[in-house]
């Protein structure tokens, strides 16, 4: 589709953003839906200046990534209640210059999980205490799951556990954990340290579903160990996909072409792996 004066502009702001797979996913979705739109990466070392640019240029929808998910909140006109609870925004909607912030990270994680297991009443063990863990933790509680948080750093872990109202267990004592769902929301196992796992291989046998938010590699050591022990596994690309699906549907008020978006992500990840 040719870019012209009627092309709707979308994008992602962060620093850096050159590695992002979101442009491939969203541009494929826009094309498949027949929407005259384009989604671009916007490197944004200064988030306040970027927000001014979003307003001034009429960018209709923006993804927000590291390190701006928290700082951007004070620059927006409206924050969705769930995003306010999570304390982070990854999606901005521009309605005639009025900017609203939402969080679809938790929606992406929940949709990926719900394809494998009913969350209400399930016991989930969540590894990590960063922004992703916060979003996933709030999402699990929102869906009625029982939650245990485990992390390496006690102060940060206990702080998040207190906010979530759930128990905290040191990652050093992870061999005591069990449940229905195990989720890795840390960067352990990410390339170039793909041989690492946040927990001992044997622990996976204590769970039915194992999810890893890391998507490079697509099948982490954690997921390999879990699959060998008969667990259903969910890779990090699924969370990225479904948070993008939610963004697309918020921005366009239409149904997202999920299969097209998944294929675009897989191809983009393959190109990254070859480079």
Residues 154-176 have pLDDT tens digits of 999 999 999 999 999 999 998 89
CATH 3.40.50.720 for domain 107-234: yes
pTM of the model: 0.92
Q: Is the pLDDT of residue 269 over 50?
A: yes
Handedness of CA 52, 81, 123, 172 (dihedral sign): positive
- Percent of the chain beyond pLDDT 70? 98
Do 107-234 and 8-103+241-274 have the same topology in CATH? yes
Q: Is the pLDDT of residue 271 over 80?
A: no
Sequential DSSP letters for 116-147? T---TT-EEEEE--SHHHHHHHHHHHHTT-EE
Instruction: Spell out the residues 6+ positions from residue 217 whose beta carbon is closer than 8 angstroms to its own.
Output: 189, 191, 194
pLDDT reported for residue 121: 98
Retrieve residue 179's tokens.
């449940």
Out of 69, 219, 255, 267, which one is annotated catalytic? Answer: 69
Confidence of residue 273 (pLDDT cuts 50, 70, 90): low
pLDDT reported for residue 274: 47
Average confidence (pLDDT) over 77-96: 95
> 8-103+241-274: what fold?
Rossmann fold (3.40.50)
Domain boundary assignment for the chain: 8-103+241-274, 107-234
Using an 8 Å Cβ cutoff, are 127 and 100 in contact? no
- How far is Cα 164 from Cα 47, in angstroms, rounded to an integer? 28
Confidence of residue 137 (pLDDT cuts 50, 70, 90): very high
Average confidence (pLDDT) over 57-66: 96
Q: Is the pLDDT of residue 48 over 90?
A: yes
Verify whether residue 255 is a known catalytic residue. Answer: no
* Alpha-carbon distance values, 216 to 212, 213, 273 (Å): 10, 9, 8
pLDDT reported for residue 175: 87
Q: Is the pLDDT of residue 201 over 50?
A: yes
Least Cα distance to 252 among 89, 64, 72, 29 occurs for 29
């Amino acid at each position: 589709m040719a870019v012209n004066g009627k092309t709707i502009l979308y994008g992602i702001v962060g620093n850096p953003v050159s590695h992002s797979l979101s442009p491939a996913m969203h541009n494929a979705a826009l094309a498949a839906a027949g929407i005259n739109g384009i989604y671009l990466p916007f490197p944004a070392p200064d988030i306040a200046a970027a927000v001014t640019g979003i307003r001034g240029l009429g960018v209709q929808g923006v993804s927000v990534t590291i390190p701006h998910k928290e700082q951007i909140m004070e620059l927006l006109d409206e924050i969705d209640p769930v995003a306010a609870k999570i304390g982070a925004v990854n999606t901005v909607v521009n309605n005639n210059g009025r900017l609203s912030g939402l969080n679809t990270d938790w929606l992406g994680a929940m949709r990926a999980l719900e394809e494998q297991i009913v969350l209400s009443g399930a016991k989930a063990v969540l590894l990590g205490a960063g922004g992703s863990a916060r979003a996933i933790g709030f999402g699990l509680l929102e869906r009625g799951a029982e939650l245990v948080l485990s992390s390496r750093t006690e102060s940060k872990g206990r702080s998040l556990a207190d906010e979530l109202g759930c128990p905290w267990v040191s990652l050093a004592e992870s061999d005591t954990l069990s449940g229905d769902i195990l989720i890795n929301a840390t960067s352990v196992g990410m390339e170039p340290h793909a041989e690492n796992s946040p927990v001992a291989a044997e622990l996976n046998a204590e769970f039915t579903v194992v999810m890893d938010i890391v998507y490079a590699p697509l099948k982490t050591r954690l997921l390999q160990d879990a699959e060998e022990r008969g667990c259903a596994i969910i890779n990090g690309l699924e969370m990225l996909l479904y948070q993008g699906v939610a963004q697309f549907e918020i921005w366009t008020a239409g149904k997202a072409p999920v299969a097209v978006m998944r294929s675009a992500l897989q191809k983009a990840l393959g190109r990254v792996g070859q480079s």
